[in-house]
């Protein structure tokens, strides 16, 4: 089982050991952050944040330019280290983790000042007596980020960028399964010359994360399981610490009968098996029109059987790598077994490959599935693609919405108008048409969901707004030295009330 392994070191510090999930070898280790160390890190971060905010956007921008330059110079080494600790192929680590971070840096560093500039609030009647309003935005303070193991570089780093470009300090707790990748983020920030203590990494398991939530930070951003998200929300409520939660999904793919079937099949295979299916926005259930179901399924099986599965991550000979640990692998096995026991058919895959040493599960396609099965209702988070038919578009929408999750979805059709109409009926934070799951890598587009997929957003202007506190400034120019609604009440107050009622009735002020 790839979990934290604790031992007493010579310095009596507990260690967190990182294991390569592909061959079960040790990759490295880090010291677990103690409660006392965390308290000091938080204290220093709060102090450092004041100076970081005072720099302003122009003062902060050069640090991000240096950061982007560092990543562009060192992307190969970073991608290889992600592969070793996470188990995903080197090319996938590059495309899905390292490059999007570079794009995020470039986008937000250049545009944050404009996106967070003061915004005028138009007012109507009261502007005639010298009133004006506008919004301004200030950083929330110190942001705590608790990140997952499935995208250990992209997910936290993109959130770090948004938080810090807005003027916040950040304390990151990476997953106990991928601590070294968190260290790589620290290396990059140090190499770029960021001021000391505006960014810190702490290490540990869920207990360390729990201490971070209780540490008096300004905001917590968590990506992970529903169960842990609920615990974080409950703990944060004790101090009214605001949270952003992204808690996974059971994302549907709807294939209409006029879809480009080969494109849809290739899209389904990639979106289901990328990162060994360990993506919150993976296609975890496919609904395909019955009239094309057989042809579509045959194409999916054909493309799946061509996938190269293994632990040779850096020589371009592997498409699907290892899963993260024994626990996650066992969940996949139990979901497949449950489906088979209830009538599902395994068309390809469905077991561990005997020739591979690590935590591997074959890319698996299932047919004859329904919503009695866990594989159609619970988050599997593994390389499984169940396919179910539908007869009407209304049925497809009903099936897609029959979930306690609502993160992403996709609709596949040559008729964009028709696909858009269906997309508007699906409950999800993002619904893509003729693609799936890739918008996390676009800094302009928001990311997040509803139901048990959580709440709040990252990325885009909406995500950037999560990193600031909106402040409403209201100005009176002093045109009226005594306002008609002030004391003492009397005839003048009565005349004012009658006047605004008359204006509203006859000229449409206030309620137009």
User: CA distances (Å), 477 to each of 128, 430, 474, 493, 510, in order?
Assistant: 11, 44, 10, 21, 20
Taking the mean position of all CA atoms in its chain, how far away is CA 119? 27
From first CA to last CA, the distance across the chain in angstroms is: 64
- Distance (Å, whole) CA 284 – CA 272: 6
Q: Which two tokens stand for residue 428?
A: 């999800």
- Give per-residue burial for 301-312: e unless 16+ CB within 10 Å, then b: bebbeebebbbe
Interior CA angle at 232 toward 228 and 238, to 5°? 150
Residue 246 bears catalytic tag: yes
- Distance (Å, whole) CA 478 – CA 269: 66
Which residue out of 159, 176, 280, 452 is catalytically annotated? 280
H/E stretch holding 399 reads helix 393-401
- Distance (Å, whole) CA 154 – CA 438: 13
Place of tokens 């893509």: 432
User: CA distances (Å), 289 to each of 152, 253, 256, 395, in order?
Assistant: 37, 11, 6, 10
449 in Cβ contact with 249 (< 8 Å): yes
- Distance (Å, whole) CA 362 – CA 235: 39
Q: Which two tokens stand for residue 186?
A: 């620290």
Residue 280 bears catalytic tag: yes
- Distance (Å, whole) CA 450 – CA 246: 9
Which residue out of 246, 284, 379, 466 is catalytically annotated? 246
Q: Which two tokens stand for residue 371?
A: 């919503």
| Cis ω for the linkage preceding 85 (within 30 of 0) | no
Which active-site residues does the annotation give?
A: 246, 280
């Amino acid at each position: 089982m790839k979990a934290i392994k604790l031992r007493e070191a010579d310095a009596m510090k507990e260690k967190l050991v990182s294991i390569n999930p592909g061959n079960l070898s040790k990759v490295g280790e880090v010291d677990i952050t103690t409660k006392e160390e965390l308290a000091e890190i938080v204290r220093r971060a709060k102090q450092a944040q004041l100076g970081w905010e005072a720099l302003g956007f122009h003062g902060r921008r050069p640090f991000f330019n240096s950061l982007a330059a560092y990543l562009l110079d060192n992307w190969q080494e970073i991608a290889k280290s992600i592969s070793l600790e996470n188990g995903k192929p080197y090319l996938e680590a590059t495309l899905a983790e390292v490059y999007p971070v570079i794009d995020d840096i470039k986008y937000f560093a250049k545009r944050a000042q404009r996106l967070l500039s003061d915004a005028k609030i138009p007012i109507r009647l009261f502007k005639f007596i010298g009133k004006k309003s506008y919004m301004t935005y200030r950083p929330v303070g110190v942001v705590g980020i608790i990140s997952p193991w499935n995208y250990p570089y992209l997910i936290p780093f993109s959130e770090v960028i948004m938080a810090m470009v807005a003027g916040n300090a950040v304390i990151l707790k990476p997953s106990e399964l991928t601590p070294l990748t968190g260290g790589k983020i620290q290396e990059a920030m140090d190499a770029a010359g960021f001021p000391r203590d505006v960014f810190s990494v702490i290490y540990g398991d869920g207990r360390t994360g729990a201490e971070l939530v209780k540490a008096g930070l300004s905001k917590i951003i968590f990506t992970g399981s529903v169960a842990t998200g609920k615990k974080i929300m409950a703990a944060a409520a004790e101090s009214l610490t605001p949270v952003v939660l992204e808690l996974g999904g059971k994302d549907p793919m709807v294939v209409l009968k006029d879809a480009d079937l080969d494109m849809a099949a290739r899209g389904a295979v990639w979106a289901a098996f990328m990162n060994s299916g360990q993506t919150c926005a993976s296609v975890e259930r496919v609904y395909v029109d019955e009239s094309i179901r057989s042809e579509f399924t045959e194409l999916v099986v054909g493309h799946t059987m061509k996938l190269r599965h293994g632990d040779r991550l850096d020589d371009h000979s592997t498409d699907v790598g290892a899963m993260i640990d024994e626990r996650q692998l066992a969940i996949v096995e139990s979901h497949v077994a449950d489906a088979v026991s209830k009538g599902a058919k395994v068309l390809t895959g469905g077991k561990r490959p005997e020739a591979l040493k690590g935590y591997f599960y074959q890319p698996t396609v299932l047919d004859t599935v329904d919503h009695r099965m866990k594989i159609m209702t619970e988050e599997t988070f593994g390389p499984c693609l169940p396919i179910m038919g539908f007869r009407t578009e209304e049925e497809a929408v009903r099936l897609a919405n029959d979930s306690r999750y609502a993160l992403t979805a996709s609709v596949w059709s040559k008729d964009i108008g028709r696909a858009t109409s269906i997309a508007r009926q699906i409950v999800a934070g993002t619904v893509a048409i003729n693609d799936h799951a890739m918008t996390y890598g676009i800094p302009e587009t928001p990311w997040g969901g509803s139901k048990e997929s959580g709440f709040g957003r990252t990325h885009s202007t909406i995500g950037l707004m999560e990193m600031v506190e909106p402040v409403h400034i209201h100005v009176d120019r002093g045109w009226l030295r005594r306002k008609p609604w002030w004391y003492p009440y009397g005839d003048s107050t009565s005349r004012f009330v009658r006047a605004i009622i008359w204006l509203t009735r006859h000229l449409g002020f206030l309620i137009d």
